[in-house]
Amino acid sequence: MYIENTIVVLGDWETIWALSSDIEKWPERLPHYRKVIIQSVSPGGRVRHAYMSCWRDILPVSWHTVQRLDYSATPAEARVLYNHVKGVTRGMEVIWRFEHLDEGVYRITISHDWSPKWPLVGGIASRLISQLIVHNIADKTLARVRVLAAQEPALVK
């Protein structure tokens, strides 16, 4: 199942990058995130293994992921990539993409691609989980990034 969430954000590029990639701070910045525990970091900090948990309304959701940061001063070349390695969404690939639209205006797109290898119910389960849970959480994440990016950059440092 492939789904995308997109939002237009006002702010400066460095703040948007920090809000999008600094998952350690998500529980304090994003009210629906309960916990992010960084389990290991590669030399240079570009690859992190993490346990993440959040709320889909009243439903607690958690997964283990590998995050890879591909920073660029040119937003169109920057990526935040995730591979869910443990949990119900194991095998899900997530990509954050950025597009500079105008001075201080950026489009952020989060794509989720997942085809669980479950016999008989994999297709149905991936559609339900992707549409009812993943899409909702990504919408909340992007909405909060938009609010925080519009504030003074010093507030998110």
pLDDT tens-place string over residues 122-157: 667 777 777 778 999 999 999 999 999 998 665 555
Question: What pLDDT is attached to residue 47?
Answer: 96
2-13 mean pLDDT: 95
pLDDT confidence band for 116 (50 / 70 / 90): confident
Question: What pLDDT is attached to residue 128?
Answer: 74
Question: What pLDDT is attached to residue 153?
Answer: 64
Name the nearest CA neighbour of 114 among 127, 103, 105, 99. Answer: 127
Query: How is domain 2-156 classified at the CATH fold level?
Result: Alpha-D-Glucose-1,6-Bisphosphate; Chain A, domain 4 (3.30.530)
Name the nearest CA neighbour of 145 among 2, 36, 32, 34. Answer: 32
- Break the chain into its structural domains and give their ranges: 2-156
Model pTM? 0.92
Q: pLDDT tens-digit profile of 65-103?
A: 999 999 999 999 999 999 999 988 899 999 999 999 999
pLDDT over 70 for what percent of the chain? Answer: 92
List Cα–Cα distances, 122 to 3, 36, 127, 132, 153, in angstroms: 16, 27, 9, 15, 43
